[in-house]
Structure 1
Amino acid sequence: MSEPGGLKRRFACTGCGECCTGRGSYVIEVSRAEQRRIQRFLGITWSWLRRRYVFRFDDETESVRMHPNGDCVFLDDDRRCRIYSVRPKQCRTYPFWPELATRKAWQEETRRCEGIGSGPVISLVRFQPGRK
């Protein structure tokens, strides 16, 4: 899964929103602490956040709701994240997920993400958890 000396990849987020759109069946895990940060950032009640933006994926996982087309509910009309500064860890760590740790998977993801392959070289000992 990893190359000798750790992976070295180039990445710089362009804010295009592609990683937040219509990907199919995946979830954006969101912890209770992350939910509280989002709630405070949006200035809404806890119950409104939970009703409008969160759903229980399984017994142990809560997720950000997605629109029927697969887009994240926090994308605005310009495809920008409305909660970027307080986005969940899964969003912050993209594209450094275990699913994208192989050279082949990383290369395939370049078709989706214009930021992969640009920006500074990032040396990684391991990829971060994330679920698609």
Structure 2
Amino acid sequence: MLHETEKLHFECTQCGRCCCGGGEYHVFLNAQEAERIRAELALSKDWFRRRYLQRLDSGELTVRLHASGRCGFLDAQGRCRVYAARPTQCRTYPFWPEVLRSKATWRAEAARCEGIDRGAVVPLAQVRAALLAQRAYEAGMG
């Protein structure tokens, strides 16, 4: 994988572009993450569930997106309102296996994320930890 052979630069600018999509784009989370976010927002469980969560036909729990495809936790300026409590999927981005597959996949993601190739070199241990966290999370979802 790319992180084993290249030094990767990344600095999140909180631009919100990685939080917008549509179609097959989803922000997955588990019950513990949902509870952490609910507590961060200080909302009742029922209101939080109705306003921010949905279940896919597969049964997976996701963040409800706006009609535009934007994550429901983005504010009007495109900033994450739950950044400190964000889900694993968000915490580990862009250090996902499919993004780190090659220089080409890293460059393709850079077209979407202005933080890629910006800032200091991310320590290899941090990249590996993000990959492990993402893989463990995905294994627990299945």
TM-score category of the 2 structures, normalised to the smaller one: 0.7 to 0.9
**Identity, % of aligned pairs?**
43
Map 1:58-77 onto structure 2 (within 5 A). 58-77=57-76
Higher strand share: 1
Give the match for residue 22 of structure 1. 21
Distance in 1 (alpha carbons) for counterparts of 2:30 and 2:7: 29
What residue ranges of structure 1 are gaps of 5+ in the alignment?
Answer: none
Give the match for residue 41 of structure 2. 42
Tell me the TM-score normalized by structure 2: 0.81
CA pair 23-111 structure 1, distance change in 2 beyond 3 A: farther
Distance in 2 (alpha carbons) for counterparts of 1:109 and 1:17: 14
CA RMSD of aligned residues (A): 2.2
Bigger relative CO (Cα 8 Å, ≥ 6 apart): 1
Higher helix share: 2
What residue ranges of structure 2 are gaps of 5+ in the alignment?
Answer: none
- Superposed displacement of residue 22, structure 1: 3.1
Which residue identity is paired with 1:118? R
Tell me the TM-score normalized by structure 1: 0.87
CA pair 77-3 structure 1, distance change in 2 beyond 3 A: closer
Which residue identity is paired with 2:106? W
Distance in 2 (alpha carbons) for counterparts of 1:5 and 1:105: 15
1:9 counterpart = 2:44 = no
Residue aligned with 1:85, SS: helix
Contact 2:2 2:103 in 1 (8 A): no
Report how many aligned residue pairs link the two structures. 130
Distance in 2 (alpha carbons) for counterparts of 1:36 and 1:91: 16
Which residue identity is paired with 1:112? R
Give the match for residue 116 of structure 2. 116
